[in-house]
Amino acid sequence: MARDRSPAELVGAAPDTAFEITFDGRPITALPGQSVAAALWAAGILAWRTTRAGGRPRGAFCGIGHCFDCLATVNGQPNRRACLVPAHPGDTVTTQEGHGHDELAV
């Protein structure tokens, strides 16, 4: 039955070799062409940012770069929209707390 097959199986996709990125020090498998958000989702990670007020968890919401819920720190750069950033071998993704510029806090 079609529901028992993955989307890749349904379209006959044969992605290139998977590679590794890290999220908060944890290794995550990513596929060529995946966004950082897609790789995190595939690994079961649904939140990678906290809000400035209240520290509430956030992850991908719209998935097309319109909102800013999916902000993450990627390779040391804060405020990257994880749904738009392509994953590359060796990328380091860390949870972003608040606005991502703690060094500017007073």
CATH number of the domain residue 21 falls in? 3.10.20.440
Boundaries of domain holding 31: 16-97
On whether residue 1 sits in a domain, the answer given is no
On whether residue 3 sits in a domain, the answer given is no
* Mean pLDDT, residues 27-52 taken together: 92
Confidence (pLDDT) at 9: 79
On whether residue 87 sits in a domain, the answer given is yes
Encode pLDDT of 73-104 as tens digits. Answer: 999 999 999 999 999 999 999 998 876 655 54
On whether residue 2 sits in a domain, the answer given is no
Could you tell me which residues come within 8 angstroms of residue 35 by beta carbon, excluding any fewer than 6 positions away?
Answer: 82, 83, 84, 85, 86, 87
Confidence (pLDDT) at 2: 53
Residue 8: pLDDT band by 50, 70, 90 thresholds? confident
On whether the pTM is more than 0.85, the answer is no
Confidence (pLDDT) at 102: 55
Instruction: Determine contact, residues 79/96, Cβ cutoff 8 Å.
Output: yes
